[in-house]
Amino acid sequence: MTDVCISAQDLVFTWPGQHQSTLNIPALTIQRGERVLLRGPSGSGKSTLLSLLAGVHDVQKGELQVLGTSLKTLSSRRRDRFRADHIGYIFQQFNLLPFLSVTRNVLLALEFSKARRARLQSLNTGAQAECERLLTALGIPQELWEKPASQLSVGQQQRVAAARALIGQPELLIADEPTSALDTDARDNFLALLKAECERAKITLLFVTHDATLSKHFDRVIELHQINLGHPGASEVKV
Amino acid sequence: MNLIRLALASLKSRASNAFLTVFAIAISVTLLLGVERVSQETRAGFANTISGTDLIVGARSGSTNLLLFSVFHIGNPTNNITWQTYQHWDNNRHIAWTVPIALGDSVRGFPVVGTDQRYFEHFRYGRQQNLAFEHGGPFEIGEAVIGAEVARRLGLELGSELVVAHGTGSVSFHEHDDHPLVISGVLARTGTPVDQAVYIHLRDLDMMHGGHSHDHEHGHEAHEHSGHEGHNHESHDHGDHEHGHSHGHGDHTHTGDSHEAHAHHGQHGEAHSHEEQAHAPPPIPGISAFLVGLDSRPRAIFLQREINTYRDEPLTAIMPGTTLQDLWRTLSGFERALTVVSAFVLLTGLIGMLTMLLASLRERRREMAVLRSIGAGPGTVFTLLVSEAVALTLAGIVLGVALLYGALLVLAPWVQQSFGIVLAVSGLSFPEWVRMGIVLVAGLVISFVPAWRAYRNSLTDGLSVRL
């Protein structure tokens, strides 16, 4: 088993209809267990890189390996399964299905992945037990567990989203500006909990933000505009 | 995979929209099935109304009219057949049996059929079933037999008295209350117009119309308007005059024969009178129609022509099966039109569902992105939308069937009363399953539109949704 979690070489991505590449990364390596802050302002090619890592879009040129698997060689269906099994993903906000209960939101991640269920089994824990452990660890009061997700505060929702991303111990956790909607206290609290859980399960954390003040929480900071030689810009408009 | 549960939970969060969609589909399903049900039952009712009768003979008229009044008790006979003519054909050597029928009166809206005991012997319905008595037995003079529905609706039972009214309306201005009849039998339910009728002896019918009178001037019309005192007088005489009543002419029948018929009768009465007068006096001067059973069925076509060309009196003979089919063919155009209308209602319901699903897609792009992030492929998103539409359609079908049965339970008695069509609250028939299948498939096909769009969205959006 390799110690490298993410490795990219001469990774070039051009959106259809664009003349210039949005992404052009000659080299990027992230070790397993590393906690990396990927910093990049809007329009730096961030979303494109994340969707390639998550296997939502095809790798067009160059090499991109996650956990030793070349995403280029996988069909889109296999990439979906790869994501389900190995990658936890947290959005900026609106992570939860508002009509499902907190618990069911968390357990949903297991329904798409046999590997996550198997890992829970090898840890001698059940889905429900692990879900409750994570929710407790992330500070969600028990009386909220069966409430619809829509009744939770934004901070609580983000922590439930973290629980869902972490359940079944995926190797890689991608968090795409998960704290941007939180106030400072909630943000620090969230980061601390996330860090603790990642450490506990030896999960590689790729944390994306444009907030430089967070760098103290991470092993390493990668400035995207320094490693990306492409020309993002108009093609990546994030509102 | 708990995709169905997920789809249901998502639907539940949009419950009011979902319910309206389901309701729209349900109404169209109810209509589609209802039209099918009514036409099936009508067709079955038509086909089951009469069997074993080879010919129906009435005065010259349209065959549909003859069928409608003689079997369904709808409409009125245009003219009467004289008893002599009836006797002539009754004695035909190819004819096994006949049953005379005289119509025109009613008991509180239910038609009165003047006939004799042969009716209960020979009349058959459904699959060659004879009439059966729930209680009692055939009538004698002064008695009546009632159909099951009449007994139920009017609360009559064996031994009850009933009074026949002149005319066929449910409100009559003239009742033959001088001549009450005692119920001798209640027929078992048949699901045909038989249930809706009152059967009395021809002779009683004639007496009610003053047919016993020797006085020609005391005709039908005069009788109708005469006072009750007069009636009472006459009724006293009945017993005495019954057997002496042998002339058999005069337009005393209830159906209002013209003087022309009277003249006819006068002419031909002589020719045939020797036959009947040798046996018994005619119970009534004229009848509305008679049913004919033959020794050999294939003869029906020859006999039909023979009767239709009978020169002494203009007659029409029909083969009930053939005429029923003709009648049904006329009505099936109407049925098709109704089906087309309900198909368009279904289309409207499905377009409503399409609109709702498409409109919801916008707000659900986030939902789709979340599902994608935890490993759902675009195919899963597609399946989710399709199963949602199928769930809506299924719910619509189930609700539609429930509405149909609700409507059947509520409306069936009224339909039976008004149209004589028995709407059985029975299980779903094969054509009804087919129609439900068509609705489901149509819902499925229509769901491909939003599902395909969601699929495209989730491909381009990936995990980053731009709202």
Chain A residues whose CB is inside 8 A of the B463 CB are 47, 50-51, 54, 56, 89, 91, 176
Which SS3 state, helix, strand or coil, does residue B114 take? strand
ipTM score of complex: 0.86
Q: What chain B residue is nearest to A167 in terms of C-alpha separation?
A: B374
Q: How far apart are CA A217 and CA A195, in angstroms?
A: 8
Question: What distance in Å separates residue B371's CA from the closest CA in chain A?
Answer: 9
Nearest to B462 among A56, A96, A112 (CB): A56
Is the C-alpha dihedral spanning B250, B252, B254, B258 positive or negative? positive
Residue B250 pLDDT > 70, yes or no? no
Q: Which residue has the higher pLDDT, B274 or B103?
A: B103
Question: What distance in Å separates residue A47's CA from the closest CA in chain B?
Answer: 7
Give me the amino acid identity at B430. Answer: F
Answering whether pTM is above 0.90, one says no
In chain A, the DSSP E strands lie at 4-13, 23-31, 35-39, 61-66, 69-70, 87-90, 172-176, 204-209, 220-223
List, for residues B147-194, the tens digit of each pLDDT value.
988 998 888 888 888 888 877 666 556 777 778 889 999 998 887 888
Question: What distance in Å separates residue B376's CA from the closest CA in chain A?
Answer: 6
Cα dihedral B373, B378, B383, B384, rounded to 10, equals 30
Which SS3 state, helix, strand or coil, does residue B125 take? strand
Instruction: Please provide residue A220's backbone torsions phi and psi, each rounded to the nearest 5 degrees.
Output: -150, 145
Residue B239 pLDDT > 60, yes or no? no
Chain A residues whose CB is inside 8 A of the B464 CB are 47, 50-51, 176, 238
List, for residues B394-431, the tens digit of each pLDDT value.
999 999 999 999 998 888 877 776 666 667 778 888 88
Residue B290 pLDDT > 90, yes or no? yes
Nearest to B373 among A76, A89, A111 (CB): A89
Which SS3 state, helix, strand or coil, does residue B217 take? coil
- Which pLDDT score, from 0 to 100, does residue A189 have? 84
* Domains of chain A with CATH codes: 4-226 (3.40.50.300)
What is the DSSP code (8-state) at residue B127? T
User: What are B253's two structure tokens?
Assistant: 């029948």
Q: What chain A residue is nearest to B2 in terms of C-alpha separation?
A: A111
B111-115, B360-364, B409-413, range with the lowest pLDDT: B360-364
Residue B107 pLDDT > 90, yes or no? no
Q: How far apart are CA B215 and CA B108, in angstroms?
A: 30
Instruction: Please provide residue A230's backbone torsions phi and psi, each rounded to the nearest 5 degrees.
Output: -75, -175
- Which pLDDT score, from 0 to 100, does residue B261 have? 41
Query: Kind of pairing, strands B289-294 and B95-107?
Result: antiparallel
Any alpha helices (H) in B155-227, and if so which ranges? 202-208, 220-225
Q: Is B337 exposed, middle or buried (0-12, 13-18, 19+ CB in 10 A)?
A: exposed
The C-alpha angle with vertex B466 and arms to B464 and B467, in degrees rounded to 5, equals 135
Picking from A92, A88, A96, A90, the residue whose alpha carbon sits closest to that of residue A179 is A92
List, for residues B9-65, the tens digit of each pLDDT value.
888 888 888 899 899 899 989 988 888 888 877 777 777 788 889 999 999 988 888
